[in-house]
Amino acid sequence: MINIALVSTKPLSRGDQTREALLSAALDAFGRSGFDAASTRTIAEAAGVNQALIGYHFGGKQGLYLGVFEHIVYRMQGRMAPVAEEVLRRLDAAPEDPVQRRDLALGLMLDMFDAYTDLISEASAAGWVRLVLREQQDPTEAFALLYDNIFSRLLALFGRLVALAAGLDVASESCRIRTLMILGQVLIFFIARGTTARYLEWGPPGPDTIAVIKQQFRLVLASQFSQGVAAA
């Protein structure tokens, strides 16, 4: 697990404020320019601190880059962990009847999708998506932080629901492919935002557009499974 201090209600110390400022500036710089092109001088100037403080707090540019991803993972865990715990709790208490178990899986799938959509929307607004996409294309050590702590756990749990709803072996390639395809239905609105915004004549994603995406997902899920999901 990543060793990150828990959120505190106490005012941030000067050192903590410096770290937060550097992380925010680095997230933007790395997301826009990539690791190699982003300079520590530019990051320090954007954060309003001395460049030497990057080495003091993070050990250098690489440490700052990993620190940004630790921050992203921490925020993602804070959003998804409570949802995952509730899904697991309800699965452990699932009824024996196959139809009821299937309907439960579909309902939990919708709950996870809603939380996942909100998370990606927040990530997009915070600038995380651009940086995460860079790691998807050219994985580094930072990608392991994302995959081991977020993506693998999300996929494992969602795959379990897909398997239960579709009657598939959770370890099968078919189940894993379907899991990726289902989750990918929300990603398109954020990783291909230029195309989707132009095609749909939308502005930046907001509460109204997120609600439309969630509603349409219910219709799509109803078409992918023969029963168990209400269209309305």
Q: What is the mean pLDDT of residues 215-220?
A: 89
> CA geometry: angle at 205 spanning 152 and 72, to 5°?
35
- If asked whether residues 78 and 160 sit together in one domain, one would say yes
Q: Are 80 and 194 within one domain?
A: yes
8 lies in a domain? Answer: no
* Same structural domain, 88 and 140: yes
Same domain, 95 and 191: yes
What's the pLDDT at 185? 87
Q: Average pLDDT in the 19-36 region?
A: 93
Indicate if 137 and 112 belong to the same structural domain.
yes
Identify whether the C-beta of residue 216 lies closer than 8 Å to the C-beta of residue 188: no
Residues whose CB falls within 8 Å of the CB of residue 77, separated by 6 or more in sequence, listed in order: 149, 150
Whether 132 and 146 have beta carbons less than 8 Å apart is answered as yes
Span 37-58, average pLDDT: 95
Count of domains for the chain:
2
Q: Hey, is 160 helix, strand or coil?
A: helix
Q: Model confidence over 108-151: pLDDT tens digits?
A: 999 999 998 888 888 777 788 889 989 998 899 999 999 999 99
Q: What is the pLDDT of residue 229?
A: 43
Q: What CATH number should be reported for the domain holding residue 132?
A: 1.10.357.10
Separation between Cα atoms, residue 159 and residue 140, nearest integer Å:
25
Residues 66, 72, 74, 80: what is their CA dihedral angle, to the nearest 10 degrees? Answer: -140
Q: How confident is the model at residue 230 (pLDDT cuts 50, 70, 90)?
A: very low
Whether residues 182 and 118 share a domain: the answer is yes
189 and 80 in one domain? yes
Do 142 and 49 lie in a common domain?
no
Looking at the predicted structure, is the pLDDT value of residue 2 above 50?
Answer: no
Give the integer Cα–Cα distance in Å for 28 and 34: 10
User: Is residue 162 within 8 Å of residue 106, measured between CB atoms?
Assistant: no
Tell me the pLDDT tens digit for each residue of 33-47.
999 999 999 999 999
86 Cβ contact partners less than 8 Å away, ≥ 6 residues apart = 111
Question: At CA 204, angle to CA 203 and CA 207, rounded to 5?
Answer: 105
With a pLDDT cut of 70, the percent of the chain lying above it is 92
> For residue 9, is pLDDT > 80?
no
Residue with tokens 């991803």: 69
Rounded Cα distance between 33 and 131, Å, is 9
